[in-house]
Amino acid sequence: MTQLLLRVFPNRKFTPHDANDKDLTRSEMIALLIKHLELDKFISKFPQGDSPFMDVHSNQSNINFALQFGFITMNKSSTFRPDDLIKKEEAYAILYNVYKTFNEKFEMLHSYYALSSYQQMSMTESLNALSFGWSRLEFNADKTNVVLNMSRSGGNEYTLPSGYTTAINKTEREDLSRQLMVFVKEESIYDAKLKKNVTLAEALLSNEAWRDSVINDIMNALQNNTYKIPFDGVLIDIEGLKGETNARNLNAFIKLLSERLKQSNLSLYVAVHPVGLNRSSYFDGYDYKTIGSYADYVILMAHDYQSKRLTPAEMAVGYTVTPLTPISEIFYALAAVTDPISGVQDSRKVMLQFSMDTVQWKLKEDKVIHAIPYRPLYDSVYSRINEGAVTFYSENLQNPYITFNDLKDG
């Protein structure tokens, strides 16, 4: 087994297995492979459950993991034969699948053009898709309808910038798909039936008339906008949804929008919140499987896991371990969105979103002196590094960080 691994992954270091290596069962092969690739530390985070294979009653976590991430495949009989000795050709087939997983090139690279994006214009040449953050859903003046706003009215920051034609002209090429991103304003309205305030997103999705009106607005913005911009589709960014009711309402909205878009050969991208390790605190109003059946791409917003506010106790002990993207959370989120039962059925539709963000904590006498983190720009981070800040990388969290002394504070 070790020799096979070395052939497939010549640049990795593997510890030789014992003398019985050649007599591995199929189940043992999977367990050993995961251990050799140092993936076992994630298995405890992997969603538990019965195996899709009828004859697998032990080592389910490893085998389920291998199935979901393409190391092994399901057959018509739904059997894995876990106790059979693995044949050499079977081992090679599994290792080939692993090799493809580790070395597969990106088929799709998507990014956003919104606030302060012009300086990165040259980077669009490497993209397959680009979404312009130039529209926002909001209530009209008397809150009797929801409208799509692409102008600066109402303090809308998701609007076309001055000189937008330059951005459009420089990104006009056949192999670049351009979407209009639809953001939702954070505002609320009183729901007489529920006897409480609900967000604009919740109100929109539960109101058929508003829903239909918004879909018409989106179609008009894509095909007949006053700026004469030829969009190829839309990216729906409805955030903060919780509960089964919101999930059903979002499904209905996405279904109707998808049908209209397909009639005009336009694409549909949908951004979704990730499933978190702390399942009681995440936004669960997203039915991955259904959304994936209608959307061309599903964007997983698995980032910004950092603490938004420290407790007095955390500040007192100088707690600063607040990674933006801890690998255990990212792994768990990807496992959930690609789950063979409840996730997006075609994993090629799933795009993992990266957020280029920062979090900074300031300490004095080993205590954090502010509850809410600073968020310095990357220019400031680069300057700190050039001035001698010490750089680190956490292997456990797989996140970088720097430390420095601010001499201006004494």
Name residue 185's amino acid. Answer: K
pLDDT-based confidence at 19, cuts 50/70/90? very low
Average pLDDT, stretch 324-345? 91
pLDDT-based confidence at 2, cuts 50/70/90? low
- pTM of the predicted model as reported, rounded to 2 decimal places: 0.88
Mean of the per-residue pLDDT values of the chain? 90
Average pLDDT, stretch 312-340? 93
Q: Indicate the SS3 state at residue 137.
A: strand
Average pLDDT, stretch 36-46? 78
- For β-strands 196-199 and 233-237, DSSP reports them as unpaired
Top pLDDT among 47 and 314 is at: 314
Judge: domain 110-352, CATH 3.40.50.300: no
| Highest mean pLDDT, choosing among 38-47, 240-249, 281-290 | 240-249
* Residues 6+ positions from 279 with CB-CB distance below 8 Å: none
State the pLDDT at residue 340.
83
Label residue 86 exposed, middle or buried (CB < 10 Å: 0-12, 13-18, 19+). Answer: buried
Name residue 40's amino acid. Answer: D
Compute the distance between CA of residue 185 and CA of residue 205 in angstroms, rounded to an integer. 14
State the pLDDT at residue 259.
98
- For β-strands 390-394 and 177-184, DSSP reports them as unpaired
| Predicted confidence (pLDDT) per residue in 60-72, tens digit | 889 988 998 889 9
Average pLDDT, stretch 120-136? 93
* Residues 6+ positions from 33 with CB-CB distance below 8 Å: 1, 5, 66, 71, 94, 95, 98
pLDDT-based confidence at 77, cuts 50/70/90? very high
Average pLDDT, stretch 109-136? 90
pLDDT-based confidence at 18, cuts 50/70/90? very low
| Predicted confidence (pLDDT) per residue in 253-291, tens digit | 999 999 999 999 999 999 999 998 876 668 999 999 999
The residues of the chain that CATH labels 3.20.20.80 are 110-352
State the pLDDT at residue 102.
84
| Predicted confidence (pLDDT) per residue in 106-116, tens digit | 889 999 998 77
| Highest mean pLDDT, choosing among 10-19, 42-51, 269-278 | 269-278
Instruction: Mean pLDDT check: name the lowest of 48-52, 82-86, 138-142, 170-174.
Output: 48-52
Is pLDDT at 8 greater than 60 in this prediction?
no
Average pLDDT, stretch 399-403? 96
pLDDT-based confidence at 43, cuts 50/70/90? confident
pLDDT-based confidence at 1, cuts 50/70/90? low
| Predicted confidence (pLDDT) per residue in 382-392, tens digit | 999 999 999 99
376: left (phi over 0), alpha (psi -120 to 50) or beta: beta
Top pLDDT among 280 and 97 is at: 97
State the pLDDT at residue 280.
64
| String of DSSP letters for 221-285 | HHHS-TT-----EEEEE-----SHHHHHHHHHHHHHHHHHHHHTT-EEEEEEPPPPSSTTSS---
Name residue 350's amino acid. Answer: V
Closest to 229 in 3D by CA, of 140, 294, 279, 169: 169
State the pLDDT at residue 13.
55
Is pLDDT at 296 greater than 90 in this prediction?
yes
